[in-house]
């Protein structure tokens, strides 16, 4: 009898415990695919509820290119002041579809891209950022078509 009471009591205690928290993911677009012809920045995206970002950048076309660099900026004061972010790690697949070595602590998600005849893809992981992020890029040359997407974990 005592054993069955103990089992029932243990079962009741287990049922009363809160369920374990599960991390959820949020997918969003930081910059839609479009031809960009000058150095600029995209619009601000709120990421206040996120603790980790994985950013995917893809360059799909270029015209009379010289060079493209794409990176992430962050603000912690509502978009008044912006800072360039350093990724924890960046991995790039070049135009020959060969992976480059992963690089830690790098600013550019896409770095020194000179042609996008076949897609140049990269991802970067961020664990330190403010409450807003935006894409930023430097272009020398005529035009690059690229996009920036992300998956955030909260």
CATH of residue 99's domain is 2.60.120
In a domain, 119, yes or no: yes
In a domain, 5, yes or no: no
Question: Which residues span the domain enclosing 64?
Answer: 22-153
In a domain, 48, yes or no: yes
Number of domains in the chain: 1
In a domain, 4, yes or no: no
Backbone phi, psi, residue 147, to 5°? -140, 160
Task: State the virtual CA torsion across 146, 152, 52, 107 in degrees, nearest 10.
Answer: 10
In a domain, 125, yes or no: yes
Contact 77, 24 (CB under 8 A): no
Is 81 buried (19+), middle (13-18) or exposed (0-12) by CB count in 10 A? exposed
Backbone phi, psi, residue 11, to 5°? -60, -40
Coil, strand or helix at 15: helix
In a domain, 1, yes or no: no
In a domain, 9, yes or no: no
Per-residue confidence in pLDDT tens, the chain, 154 aa: 555 554 344 344 434 545 444 568 899 999 999 999 999 999 999 999 999 999 999 999 998 778 999 999 999 999 999 999 999 999 888 666 666 777 888 899 998 888 887 788 999 999 999 999 999 999 998 899 999 999 999 8
Q: What is the pTM of this model?
A: 0.80
Count CA atoms closer than 13 A to 76's CA, side-chain side: 6
């Amino acid at each position: 009898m005592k054993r069955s009471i103990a089992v029932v009591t243990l079962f009741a205690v287990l049922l009363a415990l809160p369920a374990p928290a599960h991390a959820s993911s949020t997918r969003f677009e930081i910059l839609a695919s479009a031809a960009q012809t000058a150095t600029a920045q995209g619009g601000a995206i709120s990421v206040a509820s996120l603790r980790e970002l994985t950013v995917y950048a893809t360059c799909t076309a270029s015209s009379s290119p010289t060079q493209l660099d794409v990176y992430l900026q962050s603000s912690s004061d509502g978009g008044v002041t912006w800072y360039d972010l350093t990724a924890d790690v960046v991995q790039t697949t070049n135009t020959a579809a060969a992976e480059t070595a992963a690089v830690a602590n790098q600013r550019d998600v896409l770095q020194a891209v000179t042609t996008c005849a076949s897609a140049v893809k990269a991802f970067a992981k961020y664990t330190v950022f403010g409450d807003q992020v935006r894409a930023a890029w430097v272009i020398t040359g005529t035009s690059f078509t690229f996009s920036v997407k992300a998956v955030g974990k909260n």
